[in-house]
Amino acid sequence: MKKHYYIAALFFCITSMMGQSVLRKAEVHYRDFAYTEAAKEYEQYLEGEKNPKTEILMHAAEANFHIGNTGAASRYFDQAYAQQPDAFTQPYLNLYIQALKGEEHYAEADAILWKKYAGNPEVLEKLQKQKSHLDSLTALGIKYKLDNLAINTDKADFGATFYGKKVVFASARDTVRDGAKTYSWNAQPYLSLYVADRNADGSFGKEKEFLKNAQTDYHNAQAAFSPDLKTVYVSVNNVSKQGRLQNSDKGTNNIQLVYGQVQGERLNKKTIAAFNSNEFSTGQPAVSPDGKWLYFVSDMPGGYGATDIYYCEIYSDGKLGTPVNAGPTVNTDGREMFPYLKGDVLYFSSDGHYGLGGLDIFRSTVTADKQFSLPQNLGKPLNSNRDDFAFALAEDGKSGYLSSNRAGGKGDDDIYYFTEEEKACEKIITGIITDKKSGQPIEGVEVTITVGEKEFTEVTKADGSYTITISCDSIPVVTAKKDGFATGEPDKDGNINLDAYTDLVKKGEGGAEMIDINPIYFDFDQYYITPQAASELDKVVYVMQQFPNVSIKIESHTDSRGKDDYNLRLSDDRAKSTYSYITSKGIDPKRIESVKGFGESRLLNKCSNGIQCTDEEHQLNRRSNFIIVKK
């Protein structure tokens, strides 16, 4: 027995040591930003660990997030958040939200997002406005067709930029440089810039490496050109004159912005932007249409988030001015990246503004004094639940390129060509459904719009609203129904008031449930239906039409004046008269269980034979009741 215990203990000790060894490797890879290897090691460690530390789970989640595995990232983040939500600093909350959106878990992501900004009503209001805009995009009637270009490989291909009749893009395809180094972040070759012909259908042809003398042996990406195409700005790894990586004090190699004159296939007068630094990155350039302003991305100190968009003046001698942060309307505590300008509109990608997941493409109008409008999401299909970026619009304003690592691509980042499609004319039918008595919105009402032989159905939201899109030439019939409510039709504004069943009935004599109507008045000594009586009986018809399971019995009563036998016959005639009116409106006679007059046998007050009473007191006894026996 002791021998078995010793063996088990030894096995546990060896297993524990192996697990710690795997964890140490994972942490080293994580610190070195080698996320592909880190993710593998973390997965191996966590498979055998029953009670992992929150910090380890968060590191594993981050490593998986950075290599695009949002499924594993959200799973590990879920575990960590359940253990210790207070451990999630702002950057980790951003990653968690984006991982959830990457898996299209939007409700869970929004719950964390709203909680994150619960104490910041200004940011919450901005996000709510952006969400409302995104939700309403289908009403704008703009659709796009996206084509994954044949030029894409199973490695990263992105950042298509217009270069006259050609296009320049970045790729890790490694078809030109033999034995090129690989990037530990994602275990792919480093990026190079390529130039290609731009065909009429948006495809590329005859690609080759671009400005080879300007490129480093590491990352080279995202080119931008002056309007005359004579000056190019590119992002490259920070390297020395000898071509070696120059790291920051923290051991990180950053991106720097370089520019120069394009002459044939060479870059002359190569200049390193004066505001570059070993300690932070600057890159992803974009030039304004007038050639006077350079926009770029940086994580330099003093920004609002992980990376911000900046701009600086381009002087007539080609020198660059002092960088200015684009401000909090554009920049958030997340990532703002890949600026692009068309006319007075700044397009950029962000995971800090409200979006569909990962980087989404936004647009913001820019004034002459550099004021920016609230960025608006471009919506699907230009955006997806993954990273969508490097937007570039062609001269026609209806086609262009974007890059994305969305599902269905050829591998990693791909370049897509988009074209705006003409859409058939559509109109929006919208409104709010409320309770007629209380005025409160009703959730869960089934709204059906019938157009010819087609039906479109939607269920109202918590605010009672519904929205349905139909073709412009349609003549719709709109109805709304919900159990416990009468069916309703819209007014001219599309709004519908519904009667609740409980508001149409009341408790009557002996606690019986009966249809709620005003007293029916008959002329003295008569039983024919007066206009006033018809108006009240129409309420009975309405209830029976709206609630087809309702069956009733009719009871009619008189006051005590006159002989008992006469009153009995008169009340019976009055009951039969109301029965005839109700059935004449199409109500099935089988739904009226009984029709009976009770004369003066069921008085509601003291006014029996021989008792002096006022006309009002006698009137109380002259009544017809419509008692519900089935519903």
pLDDT single digits (tens) 292-312: 999 999 999 999 999 999 999
In the chain, the percentage of residues whose pLDDT exceeds 70 is: 91
524 and 491, same domain (yes or no): no
Same domain, 449 and 538: no
CATH code: domain of residue 484: 2.60.40.1120
476/517 same-domain check: no
Read off the pLDDT band of 423 (50, 70, 90).
low
Q: What mean pLDDT comes out for the span 197-209?
A: 93
User: Residue 245 falls within a domain, yes or no?
Assistant: no
Q: Write the single-letter amino acid at 6.
A: Y
Is residue 397 scored above 60 in pLDDT? Answer: yes
pLDDT tens per residue, range 73-103: 999 999 999 999 999 988 899 999 999 999 9
Please give the pLDDT value at position 582.
Answer: 95
Is residue 591 one of the residues assigned to a domain? yes
CA distances from 33 to 30, 59, 186, 187 (A): 5, 11, 9, 11
Whichever domain contains 563, its CATH number is 3.30.1330.60
Q: Is the pLDDT confidence value at 430 over 80?
A: yes
Residue 36 shares a structural domain with residue 99: yes
Q: Does residue 363 carry a pLDDT above 90?
A: yes
Residue 510 belongs to a domain? yes
The pLDDT of residue 400 is above 90: yes
Residue 225 lies in a domain: no
Q: Give the pLDDT confidence score for residue 3 in this predicted structure.
A: 39
Phi, psi of 160 (to 5 degrees): -65, 130
- pLDDT category at 336 given cuts 50, 70, 90 is very high
Question: Which tens digits make up the pLDDT trace of 563-596?
Answer: 888 888 988 999 999 999 999 999 999 999 999 9
Higher pLDDT pick, 39 / 619: 39
Q: What is the pLDDT of residue 19?
A: 54
- Examine the domain organization and report whether 552 and 479 are in the same domain: no
Asked if the structure places residue 448 within a domain, the reply is yes
In a domain, 6, yes or no: no
Which residue carries 């508001």 as its tokens? Answer: 503
Q: Do 578 and 596 share a structural domain?
A: yes
Do 508 and 626 have their domain in common? yes
DSSP, collapsed to helix, strand or coil, labels residue 87 as helix
Q: Give the residue from 499, 514, 548 where a domain finishes.
A: 499
Strand stretches in 426-472, DSSP E: 426-435, 446-451, 454-459, 465-471
Would you say residue 452 lies in a domain?
A: yes
Which band of pLDDT confidence, cut at 50, 70 and 90, is reported for residue 609?
Answer: confident
Q: Prior bond to 381 cis, omega within 30?
A: yes
Which of 181 and 629 is assigned the larger pLDDT? 629
User: Do 491 and 508 share a domain, yes or no?
Assistant: no
Which CATH number is 71's domain given? 1.25.40.10
458 vs 288, higher pLDDT:
288
More confident residue, 523 or 348: 348
- Kindly state whether residue 402 falls inside one of the protein's structural domains: no
Helix axes 35-47, 54-66, angle to 10 degrees: 140
Which whole number is the average pLDDT over 448-462? 86
The C-alpha R_g of the chain, in whole angstroms, comes to: 37
pTM of structure? 0.65
* The predicted structure's pLDDT at residue 177: 47
Residue with tokens 């004066």: 274
Answer with the one of 116, 147, 165 that is the final residue of a domain.
116
What does the block give as tokens for 418?
């988009």
Q: DSSP for 365-434?
A: EB-TT--BPPPEE--TTTS-SS-EEEEEE-TTSSEEEEEE--TTSSSSSEEEEEEEEP---EEEEEEEEE
Report pLDDT digits (tens) over 371-381: 999 999 999 99
Same domain flag for 509 and 621? yes
Are both 531 and 591 inside the same structural domain? yes
Give me the pLDDT at residue 333, please.
Answer: 92
Residue 178 pLDDT > 50? no
Residues 469 and 508 in one domain: no
Domain span at 546: 502-630
Q: DSSP code of 190?
A: P
User: In terms of pLDDT, which residue wins out, 5 or 242?
Assistant: 242
Which residues touch 539 (CB under 8 Å, ≥6 apart)? 504, 515, 516, 517
Co-location of 514 and 622 in the same domain: yes
Last residue of one domain, picked from the residues 58, 88, 116: 116
Closest CA to 358 of 66, 609, 563, 582: 66
Q: Is the pLDDT of residue 182 over 70?
A: no
Q: What's the half-sphere exposure (Cβ side, CA atoms, 13 Å) at 54?
A: 12
The domain tally of the chain equals 4
